[in-house]
Amino acid sequence: MDPTRKRALVVASQALALMGILMIGADAAVIRLIHRSLTPTQDDFFDTVSELANATILSIVAMGNYGASRVALAWPVARRWLPWWDRARTGSLLMLLTLLTGGLATLLLKHLVARARPSVLLEDGHYGLVASFSGAPFNSFPSSHAFTAFAAACVLAYLLPAWRMPLFVLAAIVSICRVLTLEHFPSDVLASAFIAAGCVRFWAPRVQGSMSRN
């Protein structure tokens, strides 16, 4: 097994183990601790920050960027910036494919897993899963906002490796705010990060190969 694949398997195993530990009981303890100290002002602030991960806006920007790059590549005057437009086209397509496939996976898992949101734990004391496709508020796992934040971070980190650390820190802040607003458990956002990274890892070489042939 090549070192890259082996490292990916190790990271995946560690992430799954951490999610398991969190879901056994740490998740509930974290939510109860936050609930005891959260103020309405803090809740509003964290909610505003978490809304930065807007999949609709990100998709529109990616589609617009992809269209602009296609037009620019066909325009002789713009060819002096060919490497930049190539990168823009690659990144936009990678972003769209990641949002589409990862978004569908996230949506399907929400309905299949049917995990109660933190509000159910705090109001009714129920912590765990119910029958699949039970609908809200049994759709906590995974987090769509956290997936969007990490999808953007992973794609941009692939294109701009030097900015990898600040991009992931920003995605983590946005995702943690979903926990601080009592919308999700910590393991929900961790799973979302894992889904986003997996999608980018799957699509990046395929998109790059496709662009190289065109």
pLDDT digits (tens, 9 = 90+) for 151-210: 999 999 999 999 999 999 999 999 999 999 999 999 999 899 999 999 999 999 999 877
Q: Would the pTM of this model clear 0.85, i.e. be above it?
A: yes
- Are residues 63 and 100 in contact, defined by beta-carbon separation less than 8 angstroms? no
Residues 39-74 have pLDDT tens digits of 999 999 999 999 999 999 999 999 998 888 777 767
Domain of 99?
3-213
Q: How many domains does the chain have?
A: 1
Whole-number Cα distances in Å, 175 to 12, 50, 74: 19, 7, 39
CATH of the domain at 53: 1.20.144
Q: What is the pLDDT of residues 97-109, one digit of tens each?
A: 999 999 999 999 9
